[in-house]
Amino acid sequence: MRAFESLTPGTALTATHRVVGQQVPQGLPLVMEQGQTGKVTQALGDSVSLELDGRLARFEASQLAAFDVSQPIETATPDEPLEDQVWTVLRSCFDPEIPVNVVDLGLIYDLRLSTLIDGRQHVKIEMTLTAPGCGMGPVLTRDIKAKLEALPAIDQAEVALVFEPPWDPTRMTEEARLETGLF
């Protein structure tokens, strides 16, 4: 089995069995049949984006076995303060088209941690998308929610998409602008 961390842009991956990814940016299902090969455009966080016959598809960590690829190694450590763990998780979430995490892209507008009446920990994230009509919004928010709720200290996560103020490239970190050539 190939290590996720060894995947680089241009790496060819062949499906060992039928697998359904998400077409980018529409968010629609895209079937990859057994024996079909795609080229990695990015393998970041815990998902891989493949170019398949001129189309882009995103495959999640749970689908990597279909390419004989191991799941990536976890990045958050329980000895970090909880807010730091949340930021670490968010930095492991990537736009499927842009090789930059959602934090450095400037997509995270607000992060609030709270303790509920029953003592459980709740985190609320307000985030936006680089384009309001992007079909990948529900996929990204679902993935972020699942990753946050996988943290031992988080009992409940809420991820809300907001579009005010509208996102623009000035929200990106300097490193993200350099990575994308927007500097």
Q: Which residues contact 113 (CB under 8 A, 6 or more apart)?
A: 82, 83, 86, 121, 122, 123
Shared-domain flag, residues 166 and 125: yes
Residue 183, pLDDT score: 62
Read off the pTM: 0.82
Kindly state whether residue 173 falls inside one of the protein's structural domains: yes
Shared-domain flag, residues 19 and 57: yes
Q: What is the pLDDT of residues 84-137, one digit of tens each?
A: 999 999 999 998 888 899 999 999 999 999 998 888 899 999 999 998 888 889
What is the radius of gyration, based on Cα positions, of the chain? 17
Asked if pLDDT for residue 27 goes beyond 70, the answer is yes
Kindly state whether residue 35 falls inside one of the protein's structural domains: yes
Shared-domain flag, residues 57 and 97: no
Asked if pLDDT for residue 58 goes beyond 70, the answer is yes
Kindly state whether residue 48 falls inside one of the protein's structural domains: yes
Kindly state whether residue 74 falls inside one of the protein's structural domains: no
Tell the residue number behind the tokens 């016959």, with chain if given.
53
Shared-domain flag, residues 88 and 174: yes
Partner residues linked to 57 by β-bridges: 23, 50
Mean pLDDT confidence for 56-81 = 86
Q: What percent of the chain has pLDDT over 70?
A: 97
Shared-domain flag, residues 51 and 20: yes
| Structural domain boundaries, residue 48 | 4-67
Q: What is the pLDDT of residues 157-174, one digit of tens each?
A: 999 999 999 999 999 999
Shared-domain flag, residues 92 and 173: yes
